[in-house]
Structure 1
Amino acid sequence: MVAAACAFAVAMCGTTLPTPLYDLYQQRLGFSELMITVIFAVYAVGVIAALLLFGQLSDHVGRRPVLLAGLALSALSAVCFLLTHGLPELFAGRALSGLSAGLFTGAGTVAVVELAPPRRRDAAVLIATIANLGGLGSGPLLAGLLAQFAPAPLHLVFLVDLALVAAAIVAVLLIPETVQVRRGMQLRPRGLRVPRQMRSTFVPAAMAGFAGFATLGLFTSVAPSFLSKVEGVQNHAVSGAVVCALFVGSTAGQLLMSRIGMRRALPLGCTVLVLGMAVIAGSLAVASLPLLVLGAVVAGAGQGLSFRAAVTAVAHDSPPEQRAEVTSALFVVLYVAISIPVVGVGALATAVGLRAAGLVFSGCVALLAAATAMLLLRPGGHDGEQPASTRT
């Protein structure tokens, strides 16, 4: 279980390494804020494509082959960034990174849960989600520190990443397989196939997750631009640390869910996210770095509460033979949330400026999160923790 979780974290770390480096690429290659969001969206498209095409793959061929393929794609992505001389390499690197994340998102989560002793399955869900978001948060921090204090800011971090991926490959080779291989598998694009008996679990989980992941998309794409152009902060380590603060808040929110309970975590997470977006909007309005950090932590806590509740509900209620597929379906919704709204921010920033675009985005996410919370809190809006078989 620990080996699978570590490999999961390494794979997700590689997906966010470029976050504090976008300003450097922008200075070197001369592209706009909109192009930054398009580059980021290419990653999200890669994730969604992998989830739709390969979301059920590990249920048929086993967890280990899919995890190894994800790590191989992560290594190829790092090589693309090492060889970057223009936009084609950036697009290729982000697309490969997205495919890697798409393979790991469903299979990695399920592998960690299945490798846990039966009495620790609940803890394993938490470990898997922390590995996911902990890896995502460590990427910007690692890249920011190396870019600020070490030589070759656009190369050293990806050499370090390749070393981590090599260690993760060894870890995956040592774990046992948890799936009996099935024959007759056909690879073709598939829709969001969710069993009818668990849709009452899936729909509110996806709605709450959408608002939180839109915020993750904002921070992992254009937050360094906000810092440099709105807040006046030019330090890459600070940029990486601010993005990491969001994921630290998310991890704290996940830990709190055990005390709060799944029934209350979804609407409460949305409410906390509204508060976080209000603080972020205030930081952009007055150009305050401390407020931005506070807003990142608060918004992250709200995202973490709703995210863990969503993953827990889906993992518990999915039929065993469809667990990876349904988990992947959830993440398709979440990765749509981190792509389309962010490109909208880039387009709006080109038209009205980065500060105004950030304020509009914060308001839209706050409205969506508030509407979701009200929907969950209305009578019959969320059926709590009843068994899936009793739901209508």
Structure 2
Amino acid sequence: MDGGLDRRGWLPCYLSGAVFAVCMAGTTLPTPLYSLYQDKLGFSELTVTVVYAVYAFGVIGVLLLAGNASDAVGRRPVLLWGLGCAAASAVCFLCATALGWLYAGRLLSGLSAGLFTGAATAYVMELAPGKGSPRASFVATAANMGGLGCGPLLAGVLAQYAPWPLHLPFVVHLVLLAVSAVVLFRLRETVGERRPLSAVRPQRPGLPPEVRAVFGPAALASFVGFALFGVFTSVSPAFLAQFLDVDNHAVSGLIVALAFFASIAGQSVVGRIGERRSLPLGCAGLLGGLALLAAALWWQMLPLVVLSALLGGGGQGLAFRAALSQVAAASPADRRAAVISALFVVAYAGISLPVIGVGVLSGHIGLQDAGLIFIACMAALVICAGAYLLRLPAEDGTSTVRRTREQRSR
């Protein structure tokens, strides 16, 4: 039982999870500050979305070019590089006297997240007693989403109630990164046989035929869930300020944080309700969150924005953890990393491309109408994923893949 576990044995797992959370917090730290940068540097809402999306391009680039680096050179070196990129990103924001600094900061932030996404998840699980346990998996996913949620909350509170709103959040983050580096140096390396950096080869996302039945709805749900997060973390502060007269940066940061915290709650119940039910339930949650967001845009009501963050975030957590588990289980062992990379590429495309589309449209038809068009498109995608899942017989996607493999082996 959990209560009988040696807590000292779990300490390295929790410490590595804390390091993971600190790094991911830096990727969402600027969210409630964009309006201040707009006032200071004078750029449009489209520019806000592009600055935000540059981060996702950095993540995708690292996943494709060096997603397997930690398997070769070790977990700690890659995580230290990730902390270095995060620190360089914070320095760029501290020096931001022109738009180029913001682009550089977001790109470096994306590189840090790309380095951490796979390596830190594996490291957290490997440091836990009984590698691969559900508890260790939840620590990793909670650290990821919890860090993303803490970023806007920390920045919003500091920007609202402390001096130097465009500087203090990044100074605090630099201090946390330094502490994280010290923690990493005190944790053990988990990769036994390390190879030189020259052994790292770019990964091409692969999709074996037997995985496609699982991958389609999983990818659609992941795309929509991350797109919803992308809108919340890029343009929701502007919507709150323009239409709801919410100029409090702490409130803006809290609403964004609620979506990520709700995702943790959604992920935590996947084990209890099962992966087969979690994916369609997650799609339903995403659809409900999108509907509430549309209602919030139409009637301009703050409670609906909050409910949208909670329901949509919970749906994203349910859908993404179930999608990731099903795709990993259905993949051949020798192609698993490539298939998971493909799923993350789709997810991070969701966090960037639709957000840029909202920014482009908002310059022509306004933020409200652009948001409603975005919601309609995302709702259509999640309905397609849900309809496909409802057409499946009462078995999970992994069972379908197993049957396909048996037929191919005959």
User: How do residues 337-348 of structure 1 correspond to structure 2 at under 5 angstroms?
Assistant: 337-348=350-361
Which AA in structure 1 matches 2:80? L
Q: Are 1:13 and 1:138, in contact at CA under 8 Å, matched by a contact in 2?
A: yes
Question: Counterpart of 2:17?
Answer: 5
Task: Give the alignment partner of residue 305 of structure 1, picking from 307, 318, 332.
Answer: 318
* Deviations, residues 137-163 of structure 1 (Å, cap 9, x unaligned): 110000000000000000000000001
The answer on whether the counterparts of 1:46 and 1:102 sit within 8 Å (CA) in structure 2 is yes
Q: Does residue 346 of structure 2 align to residue 327 of structure 1? A: no
Residue 98 of structure 1 corresponds to: 110
Deviations 1:106-155 (A, max 9, x none): 11112112222227611211111111110001100000000000000000
TM-score normalised according to structure 1 size: 0.94
Taking structure 2 as the reference length, the TM-score comes to 0.90
1:390 to 1:373, Cα distance in 2 relative to 1, 3 A: same
Contact 2:217 2:386 in 1 (8 A): no
Question: Which amino acid counterpart does residue 244 of structure 1 have in structure 2?
Answer: A
RMSD: 2.1
2:372 to 337, 344, 359: 359
Q: How many Å separate the matches in 2 of 1:120 and 1:183?
A: 26
Instruction: Give the fraction of aligned pairs with identical amino acids, expressed as a percent.
Output: 54
SS of the residue 1:118 aligns to:
coil
Alignment of 1:264 onto 2:277: yes
Shift, 1:313, TM fit:
3.0
2:8 is aligned to none
Deviates more, 1:369-378 or 1:326-335: 326-335
One-letter amino acid of the structure 1 residue matched with residue 70 of structure 2: S
Distance 2:14 2:401 in 1: 29
Match of 2:7?
Answer: none
For structure 2, the 5+ residue unaligned runs are 1-12, 406-410
Pick which of 190-199 and 273-282 moved more.
190-199
Show the counterpart of 2:299. Answer: 286
**Structure index of larger Rg:** 2
**AA partner of residue 383 (structure 1):** D
- Tell me if structure 2 keeps the 8 A contact 1:274–1:367: no
User: Structure 1 residue 322: deviation in Å?
Assistant: 6.1
- Looking at structure 2, the residues matched to 99 and 203 of structure 1 have their Cα atoms a distance apart, in angstroms, of 27
Deviates more, 1:122-131 or 1:211-220: 122-131
Once residues 378 and 14 of structure 2 are traced to their aligned partners in structure 1, the CA distance between those partners, rounded to angstroms, is 35
- Among candidates 125, 135, 141, match of residue 129 of structure 1: 141
Q: Distance in 2 between matches of 1:326 and 1:171?
A: 32
Compared CA separation, residues 197 and 219, structure 1 to 2 (3 A): same
Instruction: Tell me which residue corresponds to 2:9.
Output: none
Structure 1 window deviating more from structure 2 (194-203 vs 371-380): it is: 194-203
- Provide the C-alpha distance between the structure 2 equivalents of 1:47 and 1:37, rounded to a whole number of angstroms: 16
Deviations along 1:199-247, one digit per CA (max 9) or x if unpaired, are: 5444433222111011011111111011111222111011001101111
> Which one-letter code corresponds to 1:263 in the other structure?
R
1:125 touches 1:312 (CA, 8 Å); kept in 2?
no
Contact 1:105/1:328 (<8 A) preserved: no
CA contact (8 A) 1:283 1:292 kept: yes
Tell me the number of residue pairs that the alignment of Structure 1 and Structure 2 aligns: 392
Query: Aligned-pair distance for 1:174?
Result: 2.1
Residue of structure 1 equivalent to 2:185: 173
Task: Kindly indicate whether the alpha-carbon contact (under 8 Å) linking 1:106 and 1:325 is maintained by their aligned counterparts in 2.
Answer: no
